[in-house]
Amino acid sequence: MKPKILVTREVFSEALNFLGQHFDVTPNQADTPMSPEVLATALADMEGALTTLSERIDEALLAKCPKLKAVCNIAVGYNNIDLKACHARGVMATNTPGVLDDSTADFTWALILATARRVTEAEQYLRAGKWTGWKLKQFLGTDVHHATLGILGMGRVGQAVARRARGFEMTVLYHNTRRLSAEIEKSCHAAYVSMDELLARADILTVHTPYSPATHHLLGATQMAKMKSTAILINAARGGVIDDAALVAALKQGALAGAGLDVFENEPSLHPGFLKLSNVVLTPHVASSSEATRRRMAMLAAENLVAALTTGKPPNLLHPPV
Ligand code: DGY
């Protein structure tokens, strides 16, 4: 008998077909989000799960799923998974690193340019039939070229964002828990600075840290107060790293010039203040969503699940935090 697995959300057919060669698969191609209760019932008899960041995998759930051996997330981020609880119960957890760096970096640039040059605001104006002709002072934006780009979190995505900044002849500064090697700094044309210097000097500050208790509200009112009032804040990493209420207040007061956000605290709910502001560009957590990349993410997660349940050694096994 093949092991039983659950695929919690809709996936591409090639991933489903691949899983079907190894497992008795319960898919969710209707893509209905599962409440914790529904998920627990659906997983009660399963050995494996292909999950997304919408499902919370915690001790309360694991306690109801005694047969579960592996949870394979279709995401590089895994803040929806309690790794300690998984480890304690002998459940393997995996993510999808490496396959989405470039697409996420591309999209970060889409947010930078759209926010600095007010692209969505100008388009909405035009679509609303308000454009009566060229004006010298219309939609004056902020120049990206030759500006100072600050990168908070210099992992794979942060580095990919930095490399793209060369084309705009920018000064690139970064802050990270650990300073990178001189070789990587050189290849990214990026200089390491303290958090305070990053906040004070960045014209555009882009966030690329994972979300964890250590990064919760890493950018709050205190940090925003240290930034230039002309600065733009970008987040295509994880909600919760920025204090959304503090950001709304800073944007309203003119303490920051704008923000480009793909991720939010408590998503899919948004802080209502964002919707009233014209100087924010808002997108629904799609930074990695090119067709090729999302296909690769789903396939890598499926490969992790097959390896986990057949060899016990998935390529992207996550270890619990020390
Ligand atoms: C990730 O991989 O963590 C992305 O946020 C998913 O879109």
pLDDT, tens digit, 9 for 90 and up, residues 33-87:
999 999 999 999 999 999 999 999 999 999 999 999 999 999 999 999 999 999 9
Task: Say if residue 74 is in the same domain as residue 114.
Answer: no
Task: Say if residue 56 is in the same domain as residue 141.
Answer: no
Clarify whether 183 is annotated catalytic: no
Give the pLDDT confidence score for residue 72 in this predicted structure: 98
Using the mean position of ligand 1's atoms as its centre, give its distance from the Cα of residue 104 in Å: 9
Give the pLDDT confidence score for residue 98 in this predicted structure: 97
Task: Say if residue 83 is in the same domain as residue 124.
Answer: no
Using the mean position of ligand 1's atoms as its centre, give its distance from the Cα of residue 216 in Å: 17
User: Which distant-in-sequence residues (6+ apart) come within 8 Å of 264 by Cβ?
Assistant: 239, 244, 270, 271, 274, 285
Phi, psi of 32 (to 5 degrees): -75, 125
Q: Round the CA-based radius of gyration of the chain to a whole number and report it.
A: 21
Using the mean position of ligand 1's atoms as its centre, give its distance from the Cα of residue 75 in Å: 4
DSSP state of 289: -
Cα distance between residue 105 and residue 302, in whole Å:
24
Give the pLDDT confidence score for residue 27 in this predicted structure: 98
Q: How many residues does the chain have?
A: 322
> Is 164 a member of any domain?
yes
Residue nearest to atom 4 of ligand 1 (CA): 75
> Is 273 a member of any domain?
yes
**pLDDT tens, residue by residue, 98-121:** 999 999 999 999 999 999 999 999
Report the number of distinct structural domains present in the chain: 2
Structure tokens at 307: 């390896």
> Is 45 a member of any domain?
yes
Give the position, in ligand 1's atom list, of the atom nearest the Cα of 238.
5
Give the pLDDT confidence score for residue 168 in this predicted structure: 98
> Is 315 a member of any domain?
no
Task: Verify whether ligand 1 is closer than 6 Å to residue 76 (CB atom).
Answer: yes
Give the position, in ligand 1's atom list, of the atom nearest the Cα of 287.
7
Q: Are 206 and 153 in contact (CB under 8 A)?
A: no
**57: Cα within 13 Å, side-chain hemisphere:** 30
> Is 197 a member of any domain?
yes
> Is 316 a member of any domain?
no
Clarify whether 285 is annotated catalytic: yes
CATH number of the domain that 44 lies in? 3.40.50.720
Task: Say if residue 164 is in the same domain as residue 110.
Answer: yes
Write the CA distances from 322 to 33, 62, 87, 319, integer angstroms.
32, 21, 12, 9
The amino acid at residue 35 is S
pTM of the model: 0.97
Clarify whether 217 is annotated catalytic: no
- Sites in the chain below the pLDDT cut of 70: 322
Give the position, in ligand 1's atom list, of the atom nearest the Cα of 77.
3
DSSP state of 135: -
**pLDDT tens, residue by residue, 82-99:** 999 999 999 999 999 999
Give the pLDDT confidence score for residue 42 in this predicted structure: 98
> For the chain, percent helix, then strand, then coil, each to nearest 5?
40, 15, 45
Residue 113: closest CA among 268, 290, 241, 283: 283
Task: Say if residue 84 is in the same domain as residue 189.
Answer: no
Task: Say if residue 41 is in the same domain as residue 51.
Answer: yes
Give the pLDDT confidence score for residue 322 in this predicted structure: 67
Give the pLDDT confidence score for residue 31 in this predicted structure: 97
> Is 320 a member of any domain?
no
Task: Say if residue 116 is in the same domain as residue 213.
Answer: yes
Task: Say if residue 83 is in the same domain as residue 158.
Answer: no
Task: Say if residue 91 is in the same domain as residue 106.
Answer: no
User: Which distant-in-sequence residues (6+ apart) come within 8 Å of 155 by Cβ?
Assistant: 176, 208, 209
> Is 138 a member of any domain?
yes
Cα distance between residue 177 and residue 140, in whole Å:
36
Task: Say if residue 271 is in the same domain as residue 305.
Answer: no
Give the position, in ligand 1's atom list, of the atom nearest the Cα of 288.
7
Cα distance between residue 153 and residue 159, in whole Å:
9
Task: Say if residue 130 is in the same domain as residue 205.
Answer: yes
Structural domain boundaries, residue 248: 101-282
Pocket test for ligand 1, best of 111, 261, 297, 304 (most atoms within 8 A of CB): 297
Look-up of token digits 């705009």: 168
Task: Say if residue 142 is in the same domain as residue 254.
Answer: yes
